[in-house]
Structure 1
């Protein structure tokens, strides 16, 4: 996504990122305190799910604003190209 479209978009994304940061820090604390492997795996799975949710939200926003609602065919082509490039990297 080349830019955020509203202040609410930015606030919501920042909130999600801060929750992810807290989840990552919880994994670090769990490893440092030698918690059970199962507990750590559960924390890691939660982070993976949260990252997946954030990724889906960003893809949906990009599709909406830079492909579906693009002002002209060139902007739509660029939006689709940018998304394809990001997906190639993401799916490696």
Structure 2
């Protein structure tokens, strides 16, 4: 069963993801143009940092909305277990 949700900060997340998409295209061009490796690595680091911020924003929204609703509806154990599984995956 596929779960869905309404993202309260959807437009902010989409804007961040569009910026990241542009950064990835820029790295692609840097590699294609044989730019200096360290410059490319700095850009990759910036992309990873930006993705971490998107992940944390989604995680926060999930905790404040989905998990909170599940707890209020008596499904807290399942929601917390799912949240912990996601956190374990994120920290690998």
Q: What TM bracket, shorter-length normalisation? A: 0.7 to 0.9
Give 1:69 deviation, angstroms.
Answer: 4.6
Equivalent position of 1:72 in the other structure: 73
Asked if structure 2 preserves the Cα contact closer than 8 Å seen for 1:23 and 1:47, the reply is: yes
Aligned to 2:36: 36
Q: Which has the higher contact order (CA 8 A, sep 6+)?
A: 2
Flag structure 1 segments of 5+ consecutive residues without an equivalent.
none
Structure 2 unaligned residues grouped into runs of 5+? none
> Do the aligned partners of 1:20 and 1:50 also contact (CA within 8 Å) in 2?
yes
What TM-score do the two structures reach when normalised by structure 2?
Answer: 0.82
The 2-side partners of 1:48 and 1:61 are apart by 20
**Taking structure 1 as the reference length, what is the TM-score of the superposition?**
0.82
Contact residue 66 and residue 80 of structure 1 kept, 8 A? no
The alignment covers a number of residue pairs equal to: 89
How has the CA–CA distance of structure 1 residues 28 and 20 changed in structure 2, closer, same or farther, with 3 Å as cutoff? same
**Contact in 2 for aligned 1:27/1:44 (Cα 8 Å):** yes
